[in-house]
Amino acid sequence: MSRNEPFGIYIHIPYCRSKCRYCDFYSAPGARGVPQAYVDALLRELAKNTRRPDTLYFGGGTPALLSPGQVSTLIQAADPLPGAEITLEANPDVVTPETLLGFRQAGVNRISFGVQSADDAQLQRLGRTHTAAGAARALAWAQEAGFPDICGDIMLALPQYTNAEFDRTLALLQNGGCTHISAYLLKVEPGTAFYRNPPAGLPDADAAADFYLYAVRQLEAAGYRQYEISNFARPGHEGRHNLLYWNCEPYRGIGPAAHSCVDNVRRFWPGDVQGFIDGTIHEEIEGDCTAEDYLLMQLRLTRGLDLEEYARRGGHFTAAQQAFMRQCVTHGYAVWEGSSFRLTPAGMVVQNAILTELI
């Protein structure tokens, strides 16, 4: 691994006050915050790291359940490089003006709020515990705390969804000073409350595609440039940490259910909080990062796949696959320019189908 390559550390905070009805991420009850024993286990693993990161990401779960003091201790232990991007995910109803100021003073420079919708009935349906007014307050507090990057999530194609709901949510995030917006379609995943009891009024696939394409247009018009299938940013505010994943660059994940890719080998931690605290579980090898992984990740990006780099990594398209790619261009699903093959927004809607043909 070259020392000139970007390198990131992901710290998983699995604790949540409650489980959202659509969530299939690994989590644990955390009504009283994050136990110090868990923070100590993170510090134990951070002490084994030998490389300073230029991105540090607190994901979850609900990382904002950490105290500012705990965040400060973890950042110091990670020892990020000067100018590192340091992100912390938050729920609007978990933060206060004091904790946000504390996170900022600890070194966090990118705060990411799971807003999802500006419709209170929808938020309740999703199992979210905040309101639209609460989200607006949290965004205002983040601005007051001086975060240079404020991010917000929007969920699309929710039950009984309308373009008007999207417009209200976008306005809430714009007014809250968001420099980055993630907009993604609801997926009903196995093991979730929505999977066990599907909500009424879910849009069909065609309607969901229309909502996605409408969101892309509206976000672009509002000054948020699309750079990845679900991510939009004002120029210069793209998420550097997630770009590590999509560019197949090295990152280390710490915590139960966290993943890593270092020296082209993918690893993961088993989902076991107590085992992680006790030190009885360890990272397990998932496999090598392959040319197919690179293809999967790069076609998420609006700049697309560099065919020369793909070939350098051992990738190859058959004559039949190349003919399919040309068909994608003809039908408006892709653009092929020189050595770059990239999907259009219409192509991103059917990305899985396109990848099935290319892998």
In terms of phi and psi (left: phi > 0; alpha: psi -120 to 50; beta: otherwise), the region of 83 is: left
**What are the backbone dihedrals phi and psi of residue 260, each rounded to the nearest 5 degrees, phi first?**
-135, 155
Tell me if 331 sits within 8 A of 353, measured CB to CB: no
Domain 8-244 class, CATH top level: alpha beta
pLDDT by 10s per residue, the chain, length 359: 556 789 999 999 999 877 666 666 666 776 678 999 999 999 999 999 999 999 999 998 899 999 999 999 999 999 999 999 999 999 999 999 999 999 999 999 999 999 999 999 999 988 889 999 999 999 999 999 999 999 999 999 999 999 999 999 999 999 999 999 999 987 877 877 777 888 888 999 999 999 999 999 999 999 999 999 999 999 999 999 999 999 999 999 999 999 999 999 999 999 999 999 999 999 999 999 999 999 999 999 999 999 999 999 999 999 999 999 999 999 999 999 999 999 999 999 999 999 999 98
Please give the pLDDT value at position 154.
97
Tell me if 71 sits within 8 A of 111, measured CB to CB: no
In terms of phi and psi (left: phi > 0; alpha: psi -120 to 50; beta: otherwise), the region of 33 is: left
Residue 31, number of CB atoms within 10 A of its CB? 9
Instruction: Report the DSSP pairing between strands 15-16 and 8-13.
Output: unpaired
**Would you list the domain boundaries of the chain?**
8-244, 291-359
Global pTM?
0.94
Please give the pLDDT value at position 3.
60
Q: Cα–Cα distances in Å, from 114 out to 122, 193, 225, 257, 318?
A: 14, 18, 20, 20, 42
**What are the backbone dihedrals phi and psi of residue 13, each rounded to the nearest 5 degrees, phi first?**
-115, 100
Cα angle value 35/46/277 (rounded, 5°): 35
For the chain, the three-class secondary structure string (H helix, E strand, C coil) is CCCCCCCEEEEEECEECCCCCCCCCCCEECCCCCCHHHHHHHHHHHCCCCCCCCEEEEEECCHHHCCHHHHHHHHHHHCCCCCCEEEEEECCCCCCHHHHHHHHHHCCCEEEEEEECCCHHHHHHHCCCCCHHHHHHHHHHHHHHCCCEEEEEEEECCCCCCHHHHHHHHHHHHHCCCCEEEEEECCCCCCCHHHHCCCCCCCCHHHHHHHHHHHHHHHHHCCCEEEECCEEECCCCCCHHHHHHHCCCCEEEECCCCEEEECCEEEECCCCHHHHHHCCCCCEEEEECCHHHHHHHHCCECCCEEHHHHHHCCCCCCHHHHHHHHHHHHCCCEEEECCEEEECHHHHHCHHHHHHHHC
